Structure 1
Amino acid sequence: MGRLDSPWGVFLKGNIGLGRFDKGHMNDEDWGLPPNLSYVNTISGQANGRYTYYTADVGYDFLRAANYNVGGFIGWTYYEQSSDSRGCVQIAAPPPCLAPDDDQVVGSQNTQWNAARVGLSAETMLTERWRLNADVAYLPWTDFKGRDHHLLRPTTMFDEQRSNGGRGVQVEGVLSYFVTRNFSVGVGGRYWAMWTNSRSDSLCSSSGCVEPTMLAKYSMERWGTFFQASYKLD
């Protein structure tokens, strides 16, 4: 996370990140599918996972002292994630889709979230070199776009999902150590959640889709720890 302060209390801040993952699982549940209109549930592993994100904010410190600042901000956030689904084990409604040891790629998913942010930011110097930062943001509006590829079919297909007008929340805290006056390293924790409203559109856009439009709801949650390095401009 980087932050640029002015003598008048106005500040600019933001962060950017990327990562990979090769673990996890994906459940694919369906109801009312032909020919018997039964409930179907399969589980697959995840591989080749990638994600990127950024936040960018402008704010004003309405409380300022020698060792702490408290301010409000508005800004924007973006999060994208993609991964492959490998293997397929039937949990409900046989027959099995693949053998348990078959780990071929059966699908892929890509999701993109954009959202406006409004919130509070605070920082305090615990000692001469240790600093604690915390951000709490409410997302009053979200825009979601996703694509879900189905490869384990005689004719491959994909579904597109789109929605806007949802909500979300982002909470983050960082404990940093100043190596020099301007350069610091830190460790932090983060919780992000975004969701669409109940009238989201799920658009089937390729061969095999029967219903052109279905109502659906989508959500994402992400939490964990991270390491960061930042440079503060005077």
Structure 2
Amino acid sequence: MKRLLQSLPIAAFLALSSAPLASAADVYSGPGELYQPSTLRGSIGLRYWYSQSRSDLDNSGFDISSTDNVTSHTAELVGTLEDTTSNTFFRGYVGLGRSDGGDVHFSGYEMDETDETSLGYVVLDGGWGFAQFANNQVRLKGFVGYQYLSDDVSAKYGNLTVEQSRDWHAIRLGMTAEGDIGQRVGWSVDVAGVPWSYNKIETWESDWTYGLEADAMLNVDLTKNWQLGVGGRYWWLHSNFDRRYVVTGEKVVLDQNYHRYGLLLESKYTF
């Protein structure tokens, strides 16, 4: 019995040492399964937007206000995050700048001097890639988004200062086309329709607003992760205001057309 007890540990060791090595390999099946590459990629960068705007608020018989050739300088922070597994993405940019110059009219009177005012906006889009062509050299994406825009007007007529606050909250529905030209050059075009927007001018609230917005960019890879780009942008928003004359109660429909367009310069880091 004593010999049997002494031989048990030796037998157990021999049994374990003779077990197939495949069981250890199953636990550590290699770096390909333990460490999967990240499916997230994105970018963060800065943009400068040199733009001009023009607008009018009127009907066929009366001009409430109008602006033309107003110059703006805006700095933007822009970022993008994309999941290559699900082909979904989220992107956004926020801009803040100043507007000055141009011609301003209020109630048919041309203002003597235009004051400097602030320009601010936020755009957030989310979407998915649904098609690719030419060995993934051209890609198509759809998106839905939100935009906030604030662009005020201030001018002087003699000793009188006239101001007008203008704000928009808009829904964006659109499509992005992007692609590569060779190894170091990329391009993208965004076109978004605005099916609905809430536009407020001072205390007036719009009954409905629609519009069209477009961006185009051409980017060059300076290094593996650093890009410089140049492009352009155009915004158009049309608003309708149903009002009534105080004395007669007659209905008056006023329309506002807002246009902004200009040159974009971009520097961004990709990861």
Question: Aligned partners of 1:215, 1:191: CA distance in 2, in Å?
Answer: 26
User: CA RMSD, aligned part only?
Assistant: 2.5
Unaligned runs of 5+ residues in structure 2 are 1-77
Does residue 177 (structure 1) correspond to residue 216 (structure 2)? The answer is: no
Question: Aligned partners of 1:144, 1:172: CA distance in 2, in Å?
Answer: 22
- Answer 1 or 2: which has greater strand percent: 1
Tell me the equivalent position of 2:122: 54
The amino acid that maps onto 2:154 is D
TM-aligned CA distance change 1:228 to 1:54, over 3 Å: farther
| Superimposed CA distance per residue, residues 179-224 of structure 1 (whole angstroms, 9 cap, x where no aligned partner) | 3333322121111011123xx24599xxxx8799964222211111
Tell me the equivalent position of 1:150: none
| TM-score, normalised by the number of residues in structure 2 | 0.63
Query: Is this contact kept in 1: 2:216–2:232, CA < 8 A?
Result: yes
Tell me the equivalent position of 2:25: none
Question: Aligned partners of 1:225, 1:5: CA distance in 2, in Å?
Answer: 26
Q: CA deviation at 1:127?
A: 2.8
Q: 2:95 aligns with which of 6, 9, 17?
A: 17
Question: Aligned partners of 1:2, 1:124: CA distance in 2, in Å?
Answer: 18
Question: Aligned partners of 1:82, 1:68: CA distance in 2, in Å?
Answer: 40
Question: Aligned partners of 2:256, 2:247: CA distance in 1, in Å?
Answer: 21
Show the 5 A alignment for 1:21-32: 21-29=99-107
Does residue 140 (structure 1) correspond to residue 195 (structure 2)? The answer is: yes
Q: CA deviation at 1:162?
A: 0.9
Query: Is this contact kept in 2: 1:135–1:172, CA < 8 A?
Result: yes
Question: Aligned partners of 1:111, 1:220: CA distance in 2, in Å?
Answer: 10
TM-aligned CA distance change 1:203 to 1:23, over 3 Å: farther
Question: Aligned partners of 2:235, 2:120: CA distance in 1, in Å?
Answer: 13
Tell me the equivalent position of 1:217: 255
Aligned pairs, number: 189
Show the 5 A alignment for 1:161-176: 161-176=204-219
Unaligned runs of 5+ residues in structure 1 are 30-40, 89-97, 99-103, 148-159
Secondary structure (helix, strand or coil) at the match of 1:66 reads: coil
Q: CA deviation at 1:144?
A: 0.4
Query: Is this contact kept in 1: 2:230–2:264, CA < 8 A?
Result: yes
**Percentage of identical aligned residues:** 26
The amino acid that maps onto 1:163 is S
Query: Is this contact kept in 2: 1:26–1:46, CA < 8 A?
Result: yes
Larger Rg: 2
Q: 1:66 aligns with which of 108, 133, 136?
A: 136
Query: Is this contact kept in 2: 1:46–1:85, CA < 8 A?
Result: yes
Tell me the equivalent position of 1:2: 79
Tell me the equivalent position of 1:114: 169
